[in-house]
């Protein structure tokens, strides 16, 4: 479906989430997790149901794959930007699922100062740098799951790269500086989002696009139902594919406009070496007949926007 590529994005029909996640996991082939400490970043930014937040079945399926891969510890870390994190995780079912799957839940808001690592502002668009949770910096492996959404507060899209904002402190616990206020008022917001990902590795990301928001977002918006799940080891490739998917349904002017790899978020992430640098460097791999038509549409859009 494309020329030989540096990164692959796998796509599968999502009628059975458990089957889809298991199949994607084995196709992507993440590194061995046997005996490793694994950090998981899901999407629980608000107390709203999927597709605003991670679907319970998707979370359970992913935690099951991590557990079955022999992880020594599994920690689900989160900071909710539009709610109290512990309440959001409990209300969305994440606490109960984690308990059943042998995972620890870590509300990042509760971390002491030593739970954060300071990233200096050198070469970044962040005025003071930022704090990122050591949970993700020090884990042996990081697994992420994100949703398919637009973002009306300046991010334009909320996919895998944007999801890592939840690994950054809202405020500096020592001096009270509000990193999120800086982020959301900066003309460089999307570049700043990309820069977070330079300091948070990710071994595999699974995007649940069973449903999504093609407008509005992140907690509510115009609902679409692609009924697919995507996965990749490359967050830039995955987000480019997600943007192509949004475009196939019709989305906001910010999402529809221009070359995908010229968008601030994608261009800055590619510049930093987080993933592929062009649409020609990614390959879409449809794993079943049901997902092939959407994959062809996405490929066409990627090629047109190259």
pLDDT of residue 305: 63
Token pair 């995955």 is at which residue? Answer: 238
pLDDT of residue 2: 41
Between strands 7-13 and 228-232, the pairing is antiparallel
Q: What is the pLDDT of residues 77-111, one digit of tens each?
A: 999 999 999 999 999 999 999 999 999 999 999 99
Q: Does residue 180 surpass a pLDDT of 70?
A: yes
Q: What is the pLDDT of residues 107-152, one digit of tens each?
A: 999 999 999 999 999 999 999 999 999 999 999 999 999 999 999 9
Give the three-state DSSP class for 170. Answer: coil
Q: Does residue 4 surpass a pLDDT of 60?
A: no
Judge whether 23 and 298 are in contact, CB under 8 Å: no
Distance of alpha carbon 271 from alpha carbon 170, whole angstroms: 26
Q: Which of 259, 236, 189 lies closest to 5 in space, CA to CA?
A: 236
pLDDT of residue 35: 98
DSSP letters of 207-262?
EEEEEEEEEE-SSSEEEE---EEEEES-HHHHHHHHHHHHHHH---HHHHSS-GGG
Give the three-state DSSP class for 152. Answer: coil
Rounded to 10 degrees, the C-alpha dihedral 231/157/84/38 comes to 20
Give me the percent of the chain exceeding a pLDDT of 90.
Answer: 96
Q: What is the pLDDT of residues 62-74, one digit of tens each?
A: 999 999 999 999 9
Q: Where are the domains of the chain?
A: 7-304
Q: Does residue 199 surpass a pLDDT of 70?
A: yes
Long-range contacts of 285-291 (CB under 8 A, 24+ apart): 285/1, 285/8, 285/9, 285/10, 285/11, 285/27, 286/1, 286/11, 286/12, 287/10, 287/11, 287/12, 287/23, 287/24, 287/27, 288/12, 288/13, 290/13, 290/15, 290/227, 291/11, 291/12, 291/13, 291/228
**Both tokens of residue 181?**
């206020």
Judge whether 93 and 131 are in contact, CB under 8 Å: no
What separation in angstroms does the CA of 306 have from each of 112, 302, 303? Answer: 45, 6, 5
273: phi then psi, degrees, rounded to nearest 5: 80, 20
Average pLDDT over residues 209-219: 98
Statement: 7-304 belongs to CATH 3.30.930.10: no
Token pair 């070496």 is at which residue? Answer: 273
Q: Which residue has the higher pLDDT, 2 or 175?
A: 175
| Sign of the four-CA dihedral 279, 270, 152, 45 | positive
**Both tokens of residue 127?**
């005025």
Q: Does residue 3 surpass a pLDDT of 60?
A: no
pLDDT of residue 239: 98
Q: How far apart are the first and last CA of the chain?
A: 15
pTM: 0.96
Average pLDDT, the chain: 96
Q: Which of 252, 242, 241 lies closest to 214 in space, CA to CA?
A: 252
- The band of 30, judged by pLDDT with boundaries at 50, 70 and 90, is confident
Q: What is the pLDDT of residues 252-295, one digit of tens each?
A: 999 999 999 999 999 999 999 999 999 999 999 999 999 999 99
């Amino acid at each position: 479906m494309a020329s030989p590529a540096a990164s692959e994005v796998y796509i599968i029909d999502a009628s059975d989430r458990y089957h889809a996640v298991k199949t994607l996991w084995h196709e992507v082939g993440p590194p061995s997790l046997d005996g490793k400490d694994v950090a998981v970043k899901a999407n629980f930014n608000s107390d709203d149901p999927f597709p605003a937040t991670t679907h319970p079945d998707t979370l359970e399926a992913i935690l099951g794959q991590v557990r079955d891969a022999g992880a020594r510890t599994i920690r689900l870390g989160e900071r909710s930007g539009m709610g109290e994190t512990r309440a959001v995780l409990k209300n969305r079912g994440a606490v109960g699922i984690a308990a059943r799957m042998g995972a620890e839940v870590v509300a990042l808001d509760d971390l002491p100062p030593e739970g954060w690592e300071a990233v200096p502002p050198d070469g970044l668009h962040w005025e003071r740098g930022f704090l990122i949770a050591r949970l993700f910096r020090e884990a042996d492996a990081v697994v992420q799951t994100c949703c398919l959404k637009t973002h009306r507060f300046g991010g334009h899209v909320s996919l895998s790269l944007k999801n890592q904002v939840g690994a950054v402190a809202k405020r500096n616990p020592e001096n009270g500086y509000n990193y999120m206020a800086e982020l959301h008022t900066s003309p460089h917001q999307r570049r700043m989002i990309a820069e977070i990902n330079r300091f948070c590795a990710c071994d595999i990301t699974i995007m649940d696009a069973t449903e999504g928001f093609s407008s509005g977002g992140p907690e509510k918006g115009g609902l679409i139902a692609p009924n697919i799940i995507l996965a990749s080891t490359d967050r830039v490739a995955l987000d480019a594919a997600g943007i192509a998917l949004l475009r196939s349904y019709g989305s906001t002017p910010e999402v529809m406009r221009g070359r995908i790899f010229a968008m601030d978020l994608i261009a800055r992430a590619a510049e930093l070496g987080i993933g592929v640098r062009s649409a020609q460097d990614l390959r879409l791999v449809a794993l079943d007949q049901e997902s092939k038509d959407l994959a062809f549409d996405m490929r066409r859009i990627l090629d047109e926007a190259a």
